[in-house]
Amino acid sequence: MERVTLLAPPKLNLRLLVGPLAADGYHPVRTLMVALDGPADVVRVSHAAGRVVRCPGVDGPGNLAWAAIDALERETGRSLPAEVVIEKAIPSRAGLGGGSSDAAATLVGVDRLHDLRLGVDALERVAARVGSDVPFFVRGGARWGEGRGERLTAGTTPPFAAVLLRRDPGLATPEVYRAFDRLPPPRPPAGPGDAPGSFEGLAAWVRNDLWPPAFALRPALGRTVRALAAAGAGPVLLCGSGSCVAGFAPDVDAARRIAAAIPGDGFRAVVTPAAGGVRIVAD
């Protein structure tokens, strides 16, 4: 195998319930994550003499893809030289999991490049050492995450479309969790634990406990929310720890109309739930 090309999709947290800071420095979550069809990063993994990670803005050891290869080397006890080139379509620090998805794609790509044949369960286990959201992207689809988000079980989502809109400066996840700690704890959720089966039910059920801290750090998010609501989205939800915001619609046509009705610039995309996660598109 000379080179592996993968697509790394973004995700949405349809529900993100956050508990108080635990002794390990993380917050226990219960979250329904859904991989998205829409703009995806392209990750190319090829043989190299050593290790190279190229990604606009985050080259080298600062990239989660680098940590992903470190974790694979520890797991296998082998040196795994590779060049990883990441072409970004998913904005960074947006709450869409782009960096985590790139890291998962790197795990799957290096596994294929070096013919490691670790299998999905082992890849998920290694992914959990790289970051809380990385294991999700190995299988993707709709999955519940618990613990830090890395303990995964099967989930379901009714069909939906969403308009992603990112106009506000990026938010760093640790900063948002620190702001969460300074606010009163969220109220326990009312209503069903599992996702409803219809779009109407989903619209009333989506929730993100990181809204108040993200909003405290970026009051301008209110304008982005109002732009989506004024264009007809219902409901509107912060993506992960922000700063991207999603406006929901029952189908793609309605989402396209909403996207077209929003004036101004910034990242915007129409997305739908994806059946899988990171995907090899060419060897």
Binding site for ligand C5P (CB under 6 A): 25-27, 29, 131-133, 148-149, 173-174, 177
C-beta of 20 vs 264, nearer to ligand C5P: 20
C-beta of 161 vs 237, nearer to ligand C5P: 237
Smallest distance from the beta carbon of 205 to ligand C5P, in angstroms?
A: 21
Smallest distance from the beta carbon of 200 to ligand C5P, in angstroms?
A: 30
C-beta of 160 vs 180, nearer to ligand C5P: 180
Q: Which of 11, 41, 102, 209 is catalytic?
A: 11
Q: Is the Cβ–Cβ distance between 110 and 74 less than 8 Å?
A: no
Smallest distance from the beta carbon of 280 to ligand C5P, in angstroms?
A: 24
Residue 175 backbone dihedrals phi, psi, to 5 degrees? -65, -40
Q: Is the Cβ–Cβ distance between 164 and 224 less than 8 Å?
A: no
Smallest distance from the beta carbon of 1 to ligand C5P, in angstroms?
A: 29
88 part of the active site: no
State which residue has the least CB distance to ligand C5P.
132
Q: Which of 102, 133, 168, 209 is catalytic?
A: 133
Residues with Cβ < 8 Å from 172, sequence gap 6 or more?
Answer: 93, 241
Q: Is the Cβ–Cβ distance between 83 and 49 less than 8 Å?
A: no
C-beta of 4 vs 29, nearer to ligand C5P: 29
226, two tokens: 């109002």
In the block, tokens 């929730």 appear at 207
Helix extents (H) in the chain: 64-76, 98-113, 120-128, 134-139, 173-181, 199-205, 211-217, 221-230, 252-261
Residues recognised as catalytic: 11, 133
